Structure 1
Amino acid sequence: MLCAAIVASDAMAAPRAPLVWAFGDSLVAGYGLPPAQGFTAQLQAALRRSGVAATVRNGGVAGDTASQARARLAWGLRGLKVKPDLVIVELGANDMLRGLPAAQAQANLDAVLAELRRRQIPVLLMGMRAAPNLGADYVRGFEAMYPALARKYRVPLYPFFLDGVAGRRSLIQADGLHPNAAGVQVIVRRSIGAVRRALGA
């Protein structure tokens, strides 16, 4: 009985594996890919290979603007059942593709980051670039919001989610927008260091 009690006590004292929630749009949702080839699955596998026994949950919804994501943030966090150790925030691409005002996207991203800070949840902010055909003023305003928000909330910024993938046809699906499985592998390989640092791992 004593041995059983000691084993049970040790099990209860064992630290919980880190929980990472990727909160974003189709880029983290894994649009057009089998579940095992999407961003969250590949990131989880890469973290575990590197010795970080993290679980990465998929909080991506295809088509979401920053406003739509803001509206579902609270119930998404409730659905996790436990407080995540890190939230990866990847939003803004759909605002940009629809030509929505950059100031509007920034206000909604600001609200997301403010709520996560209120809950004392660490964040890794993923940046996005704007299509040049939207005009120089839009591009400047849109791309400037990510470092501005990172400074305001003192969170780490990964400057461009599609770094190493954008513009490379071999890494993009036929729609010309979303990474294929090989493209996701590049994203994970390039961003895993930022994820690990944000986790303190």
Structure 2
Amino acid sequence: MTGKGVITVNADVKIEQLTSIEYHLNELSDLLVQVVDDGASIGFLPPMERSEAVDYWSSDINPDVILLVAKLQGKIVGSVQLHVCSKQNGSHRAEIAKLMTHTGYRRNGIGRSLMLEAEKRSEQEGRTLLVLDTREGDPSNSLYTSLGYTQAGRIPDYAKSANGDLHPTIFYFKIISGHEWKG
């Protein structure tokens, strides 16, 4: 089985949880290379070698990671990861990681749909707190605030770009599952 829980974004785009990457390794690797080479700050620097992307997908996805993909006409055009905390004192939280949308499909609600499905899955996993970080100034900052994420802090010089410049990152959180933040 390669997926479950197919969610329709619109008539053409579907959000699906992958339980195995075996049949999707090439598409996931192509997506990762494409977004990194376009400048996405998701832990890698451009230019990205395809072998590095294959190594990442082959080794870094584990049972604590829920991998959601967006498919258009059967092709993967986006993905997001939900890292559920396995520590006893963190069994209520998860981290959103590596939200990616292929550049040819951006501004069509794919990232938003992936985030909403990640939130739904986190609730199903009994998680009430989501955290994430993103480079300051990236378009994703607007997406996260529009979805109700609260800025928790800013760390200067956190992420390095391909030219060696250092950029700040913003940490966000969101209380979900009907819980209210009393901060």
Q: TM-score, normalised by structure 1?
A: 0.34
Q: Which has the larger radius of gyration?
A: 1
More helix by share: 1
Q: TM-score, normalised by structure 2?
A: 0.36
More strand by share: 2
> Higher relative contact order by CA 8 Å / sep ≥ 6: 1 or 2?
1
